[in-house]
Amino acid sequence: MGISGGQHEGRDLTDTLIFVSIDQSTGDTVLLTIPRDLWIPSLRAKINTAYHYGEKRQPGGGLILAKSALSEVLDQPVDFALLIDFSGFIQAIDAIGGIDITIDRAFIDSKFPIPGKENDPCDTCRYETVNFSAGLQHLDGATALKFVRSRNADGDEGTDFARSQRQTKVIRAFEKKFLFYLPKLKQIFDQSIITDIPPDTYFSLAKLGFKSTRKNPRAFAISEPLVYNPPVSAAQDYQWILLSQDDNFSSLASYVKNLLTLPIK
């Protein structure tokens, strides 16, 4: 999960949420990006608020509630959770020397939020313009963060679904390099990551991570027609949300089960 951090409103909303499943015997890895606006009836809120409300209930409850909400949606066990803020993301990308990304479509976002100016009373002062060209690009940490956060570009790249695909690209590029920089990354992660992974499992998980890097991860995102945007109503507190196509998550659960059990080609 990824949060912005800082002191502004919404600093602990998990606007990046990715379910990762690794087959322990083969190393086959599935990455599934979850849309932040997915409505969770049991919470009467979007899924990106689960960590926030869990922490309000009790310190340390954020990971528990976020895992519970995701398990409710996917009907899959969620063994561990890991949460990182923007500063840790930037440091981690820089620590591995940046990443190489092939950008499929050029886009310009003229309303990218400037960190630290989220509460500036001057509306135009809160934003900058970011521009990405198509083709192979080398991104440092700060630029990679803009690439995965941008959500106000014109056209298809301005959707959360396109943003999910960009996040997956960055994760895959990071995964190719991170094992070679573990000593550097450990210090960064110790300072900027919150997780419920027990320390005595680190070695086993590192071995599993190494096995997974030998195969290309299979990356997916929950998007239309699996989910849809209903008319704004009082039932969802007049918010812009996404609902499962059958309104009870059974289609999403079936979709994920198929992803995890399909034979690998």
DSSP annotation string for 14-63: --B-EEEEE-TTT--EEEEEPPTTBEETTTTEEGGGHHHHHHHHSTTHHH
- So where are the chain's domains? 2-86+161-261
Strand-pair partners of 19:
32
The pair of structure tokens assigned to 260 is: 């995890």
**pLDDT value at residue 97:** 96
Per-residue pLDDT band for 168 (boundaries 50, 70, 90) equals confident
- What is the C-alpha to C-alpha distance for residues 222 and 119, in angstroms, rounded to an integer? 31
Per-residue pLDDT band for 235 (boundaries 50, 70, 90) equals confident
Task: Give CA torsion, residues 53, 245, 36, 215, to 10 deg.
Answer: 120
Percentage of the residues of the chain whose pLDDT score is greater than 90:
55
Which amino acid is located at 85 in the chain?
D
**Of the ranges 34-43, 193-202, 256-265, which one carries the lowest mean pLDDT score?**
256-265
**pLDDT value at residue 264:** 62
Per-residue pLDDT band for 265 (boundaries 50, 70, 90) equals low
**pTM, to two decimals:** 0.84
> What's the whole-number mean pLDDT along residues 45-63?
95
CATH numeric code, 2-86+161-261: 3.40.630.190
Residue 151 has pLDDT above 60, yes or no: yes
Q: Are 9 and 119 in contact (CB under 8 A)?
A: yes
